[in-house]
Amino acid sequence: MKTVQMTLDDDLVREEDLIAKELKTTRSALTRRALRAVIRDIKLQRLEKGHRLGYERQPVPKGEFDLWHDEQAWGDK
């Protein structure tokens, strides 16, 4: 693990300290958790963007998935 110095707004630190206390954790642990969540979200956004661009470049032909329509469980039966 590496020690990193950061500059944060005072109100952000106050909020983080309140939440860390509520969760019975440390400021550092909460920051790691938050950073991991942001990194996970950004990676997911990149994947979704890649899929979207792929379908824009090569759209699904009409009727491509019609065969599977009756197989889907819609939960209304």
Q: Is the pLDDT of residue 43 over 90?
A: yes
**Total domain count for the chain?**
1
Mean pLDDT of 9-26: 98
Identify whether 38 is part of a domain: yes
Taking residues 5-30, what's their average pLDDT? Answer: 97
What is the value of pTM for the model shown?
0.72
Q: Quick check: is 34 in a domain?
A: yes
- Element of type H or E holding 33: helix 27-57
| pLDDT > 80? residue 12 | yes
Please indicate, yes or no, if residue 66 is contained in any of the structural domains.
no
Q: Which domain holds residue 20?
A: 10-59
pLDDT at residue 37 above 70? yes
Residue 2 domain flag? no
Could you tell me if residue 71 is inside a domain?
no
For residue 50, tell me if it sits in a domain: yes
19, part of any domain: yes
Cα–Cα distance list, 13 to 2, 6, 26, 33, 75 (Å): 20, 11, 12, 15, 45
- Statement: residue 22 has pLDDT above 80: yes
